[in-house]
Amino acid sequence: MQADLGQFAAKVHGYFTFPTLEGEIGPRMKFRGKEMIVWSINSYLGLANHPEIRKVDAEAAAQWGLATPMGSRMLTGNSPYHEKFEKEVAEFMQKEDAFLLNFGYQGCSSIIHALTDRKDVIVYDQLCHACIIDGMSMSMAKRFMFAHNNMEQLRDRLKKATRIVEKTGGGILVITEGAFGMRGDLGKLDEICKLKSEFNFRVMVDDAHGFGVMGKTGIGAGEHLGVQDQIDVLFCTFAKSMAGFGAFVCGDKKVIQYLRYNMRSQIYAKSLCMPMVVGALKRLEMLRSMPELREKLWHIVNTLQDGLRERGFNIGEPEAPVTPVYLQGTPYEAANMAYDLRENYGIFVSIVTYPVVERGVIIFRLIPTAAHTEEDVRITLDAFEAIRANMKAGKYSGALKHSLV
């Protein structure tokens, strides 16, 4: 018998899976007619519903529509705005060049596919995102996994990889993330880059959750850890801090030019539409010129994380805004707790259970944003204390207690 929520998918569809949030994107939205404090939206800087962003998006849509430009970038889908964004984001990210991508998930996968072949070896962190796993599955490179942030195991894998490429004449690509989206901890980019003195490899970093929020100027985890110049291939998506869709990859000119002519997801797919490109330029401008957005975000992050710790909750060791709350229990208990949070406390938060995490572990993943308030945090902390007490009293044990359809 399955041990995850899939065993009662027919009952939870539309509630725990494929739920519909209504209203303007923000910390307070409606779910099934009830107002909720929402901790499941990745608009870290609150840009999803920012009036300046909405104005630029609307004006760009009115001017160009959603079809322009038609075709792939290589053929008929290029524009001065696409190139302007690449120039500006490369300068901001302190890299020689950048390439604007139509989507994040397929873009990240396609980078890996383009960069590696049967002569190469990929060494990757155990908790890398699914887009990285899928990218490796398309590559003919041999691959080794190392336990999450385990530098001794990474060193061992690099020794094995080195022996292989000495025979094949290929190269080694180490892949990790800047900020991990489930636990909120950072990849050990500084320690990984130190290993370059011992081994010959390049580093690729997916910094979807670090870009825009980490570091003194918001460049990301590389800036935060002081190794931005040592990251060879840096991928960032618009889906988090920039509250849009699309992505970019940046690095040395030679590498980026190679990707322009070899990424199948860009050569054979439509270019990013003009409203999103123009919108991305505005988002980048605000990210660079409005540090108060990051300051507000981090005030909420620290208030939430400190409050959870003070009340005795296990949140691990997050360094990024992502805030996991770890509890012990079954998927049924997780579903019953989440139902109670939504229906009786007005808190909408995502739940994660096996097989995403090990059996017996429940994670409530909270995503604080600059749009949240201290009052949102206080209400949420009180609600989590209440459900913990209910759990200890056995209120959530047994099968799914509610009919959700």
What is the rounded distance in angstroms from the CA atom of residue 202 to the CA atom of residue 204? 7
Token duo for residue 201: 């490899």
Q: Is residue 405 part of a domain?
A: no
DSSP conformation letters of 116-175: --TT-EEEEETT--HHHHHHHHH--SEEEEE-TT-HHHHHHHHHHHHHHHHHH---EEEE
Do 202 and 339 reside in the same domain of the chain?
no
Q: Name residue, tokens 């850890």.
A: 225
Report the pLDDT averaged over residues 372-401.
92
Q: Is residue 216 part of a domain?
A: yes
pLDDT of residue 402: 65
Report the pLDDT averaged over residues 12-39.
93
End position of a domain, from candidates 289, 313, 340: 289
CATH number at residue 331: 3.90.1150.10
Report the pLDDT averaged over residues 65-90.
96
Q: Label residue 1 by pLDDT band (50, 70, 90).
A: very low
Give strand pairing partners of 122.
143, 173
pLDDT tens, 111-156?
999 999 999 999 999 999 999 999 999 999 999 999 999 999 999 9
What is the rounded distance in angstroms from the CA atom of residue 294 to the CA atom of residue 241? 10
pLDDT of residue 404: 54
User: In terms of pLDDT, which residue wins out, 6 or 152?
Assistant: 152
How does the average pLDDT of the chain come out, rounded?
94
Q: Is residue 398 part of a domain?
A: no
Do 251 and 345 reside in the same domain of the chain?
no
Do 189 and 296 reside in the same domain of the chain?
no
pLDDT of residue 352: 85
Do 306 and 348 reside in the same domain of the chain?
yes
pLDDT of residue 332: 84
What is the count of structural domains for the chain?
Answer: 2
Do 20 and 105 reside in the same domain of the chain?
no
pLDDT tens, 263-301?
999 999 999 999 999 999 999 999 999 999 999 999 999
pLDDT tens, 50-77?
999 999 999 999 999 999 999 999 999 9
Do 67 and 23 reside in the same domain of the chain?
no
Do 100 and 186 reside in the same domain of the chain?
yes
CATH number at residue 81: 3.40.640.10
Token duo for residue 302: 């620290």
Do 87 and 214 reside in the same domain of the chain?
yes
Q: Is residue 210 part of a domain?
A: yes
Residue 323 lies in domain: 5-44+291-392
pLDDT of residue 9: 67
pLDDT of residue 355: 72
**What percentage of the chain carries pLDDT values higher than 70?**
96
